[in-house]
A and B are shown apart, each in its own frame.
Chain A
Amino acid sequence: MKSKIFNILLICAFFLTLGAFPTKVFSKEAKAEKFDAGKTAMEHIADKHEWHLFGEKVVVPLPIILYTDKGFEFFSSANFNTEGNIYKGKYYNYSLVHDKIKAVDQAGKVDDVATKKVWDFSITQNIAGMWLSGLVLIFVFLSASSGYKKRVGKAPKGLQSFVEPIILFIRDDVARPNIGVKYERFMPLLLTVFFFILINNFFGMIPFFPGGYNLTGNIAVTFTLAFIIFLVINLNGNKYYWKHIFSPNPWWLFPIMIPVEIVGIFSKPIALMIRLFANMLAGHIVIISLISLIFIFNTLWIAPVSIGFALFIDVIEVLVVFLQAYVFTILSALFIGMAVQEHHEAQQEVI
C-alpha cells in the first residue's frame, strides 16, 4: 500500500518536474501556428492516404488507385511528399487537400470539374488496417478451428478456449433467442460481423500500429455493414414479414401503416449504421480532445489531468468496444429474426 502511494507520488513528481521545464518547443510552435483542437480531432478521425504507424514520424506510403473518366491511375502516396504536394499523373495533376485527392492545375489550384470525374479507390489507412485486422481474424480463427480438428471431442485449449465462449455466447444468447430455429444459417454472418466490428473497434483504440485508424467510426464502413444486414434481412424475409408490412391488420390503417412500415425497413439498418459510427467516433473525439487540452493550455502541468481523464474514457471505451459490437450483432439478429420468424401473425395477436 505504501509503495503504491509512493509510486503515484513519484509519477506526479515526474509530471511536476516536466512542468517546471520551460516548454520552449511548444511555445514556439504555438506562436507560429495557433493550435486548433477541432482541426486536430477531425484530422485524427479522418481516413488518410498514408499509414501512420507511430504518430507522424513513422509513415508507410500506401497505393493510390484512381478511376478517372480516361482510365485508371496507380501510384504511391509517397509522390505527394515531393514537389510541393503535386503529382503529375497520366491524365490529371493531383494534390492532397485535407487528405482528399483533388485534381489540380499546374499551379496547384483545385479544379472542381475535373475532381468530380476522379473516383478515389485508394488503399487508405483504414483499408490497410482493415486488411490487417482481417488477417488477424483469419489467423486466430483458422488456428482455433484447426485445434478442433486436432483434438476432436476434447476440451478446448489455448486460443480455442479463448474464442469458444464468445462464439457460444453469440450462438446461445444472440442468435438462438432472436432468430429461433433457423439461427444456424445466420451464424457465420453474425459471428463475422461481431468479430469484425470488435477487432476493428479495438485496433481503433490502440493509438499506434497495429491500430491508429478509425474504421468503425467511419460512416462508409458502418454503411456497408448495415447495407449487408439490410440485404440479408430483406432477402430472407418470409411471407409473414412482407404481409406485416403491406397488409396491416385493420384495412383502414393502410394509408398510415404502409409508409411507416416502409420507412421501418430502411430505418432499422440506418439505426445500426448511425449507432456504431457515432459511438466509435465520439469515443475517438473525446480522447483526442482530452489529450488536446495539453496543447490548448500550452503547459505540461495539465498533462496528469488530461491523461487521467483520457485513461478514464479509454477504460469506458473498452467497454463500449464490446458493447457496440454486441449491440450491432444482437440488433442484426433481432431484425433477421423478425424477418424469418414463422407465425408472425399469431404472435402479434397474443401481444
Chain B
Amino acid sequence: MDLVSPNPGLILWTAITFLILLFILRKYAWKPILKAVTDRENSIESALLKAEAVKEEMTRLTSENEALLKQARAERDAILAEGTKVKNQIISEAKESAQKEGSRQIELARIEINNQKAIAMADVKNQVASLSLEIAEKILRKQFEDSKKQDELVKELLKEVKLS
C-alpha cells in the first residue's frame, strides 16, 4: 500500500522543482531555442523562395537574351538582304546609265559623222561643180574655136526660140 500512497513531501518538492525547472527552461532555453529554430526555418524558406525567384529571373533573362539574339540575327539578315538589293540596284542602274550614255555617245558620233559626211559631200559637190564648169569651159572653148560652129549653134538656138 506504501507503493500507491503518494508521499506529500515528494509531491511538494516535485511540484516546486518542476515549476522552477519549467520557469528557468522556458525563459532561458525553450523560448530562445524555438525562436532561433523558427527564425532559421523562415530564413531557409525565404532563401529557397529567393533562389527560386532568381532561377526564374535567370530563365527569363536567358529567354530574353535569346529573343534579343534572334532579333539581332534577323535584323542582320534583313540589313544584309537590303544591302544586296541596294548593291544590285546600283549595279543595274549603273549599267543602265552606262548603256544610255554609250548609246547617246554613239548617236552623237553618228550625227557628227553624218554632218561631216554632208559637209564632205557638199565640198565634193562644189569641187565637182567647179571641176565640171572648168571642164565645160575648156570643152566650149575648144568647140567654139571655129566661127562656123558658133553660127550653127546660134542658128539652132534661134530656131528653138521661134518654135516657142
Contacts and interface: CB of A to CB of B under 8 A. Distances in A.
Contacts of B15: 224, 227-228
Nearest to A126: B10
B61 interface: no
A230 to B, nearest CB: 12
A148 B40 CA distance: 10
Contacts of A149: 32, 36
Contacts of A219: 3-6
Q: Interface majority SS on A: helix, strand, loop or mixed?
A: helix
Contacts of A142: 28-29
Contacts of B30: 141, 167, 187-188, 191-192
A224 B9 contact: no
Interface string A120-131: 111110110011
A149 B33 CA distance: 9
Given A141-B29, A144-B33, A228 B9 contact: no
Interface string B1-32: 01111111111111101111110111011111
A28 to B, nearest CB: 31
B25 A121 contact: no
B11 A224 contact: yes
A130 B13 contact: yes
Contact of B10 (A127, A164, A168): A127
B159 to A, nearest CB: 152
A142 B31 CA distance: 11
Question: Interface centre among B19, B25, B43, by most A CB within 10 Å?
Answer: B25
Nearest to B10: A220
A66 to B, nearest CB: 9
Q: How large is the interface on B (under 10, 10 to 19, 20 to 34, 35 or more residues)?
A: 35 or more
B37 A168 contact: yes
B29 A144 contact: yes
Contact of A148 (B17, B20, B24, B36): B36
B27 to A, nearest CB: 9
A137 B21 contact: yes
A270 B33 CA distance: 32
B39 interface: yes
B34 interface: yes
Contacts of A126: 10
B6 A191 contact: no
Contacts of B8: 119-121, 220
Question: Interface centre among B3, B13, B18, by most A CB within 10 Å?
Answer: B13
A286 B4 CA distance: 18
B10 A124 contact: yes
A214 to B, nearest CB: 11
A321 B143 CA distance: 174
A137 B7 contact: no
A141 B34 CA distance: 12
B18 A145 contact: no
Interface string A53-80: 0000000000001000000000000000
A144 B32 CA distance: 10
A123 B13 contact: yes
B24 A138 contact: yes
B9 A119 contact: yes
A225 B28 CA distance: 21
B17 A141 contact: no
A163 B12 CA distance: 29
B21 A192 contact: yes
A46 B5 CA distance: 12
Contacts of B31: 188
B18 A124 contact: no
17 contacts: A120-B8, A121-B9, A124-B10, A134-B17, A141-B29, A144-B33, A145-B33, A149-B32, A149-B36, A171-B37, A187-B34, A191-B25, A195-B25, A220-B7, A220-B14, A221-B14, A224-B18
A-B residue pairs, 3 tightest by C-beta:
A141-B29, A220-B6, A148-B36
Given A121-B9, A171-B34, A228-B18, 13 more contacts: A47-B10, A98-B2, A144-B33, A145-B29, A145-B32, A145-B33, A153-B40, A171-B37, A219-B3, A219-B6, A220-B6, A220-B7, A221-B14
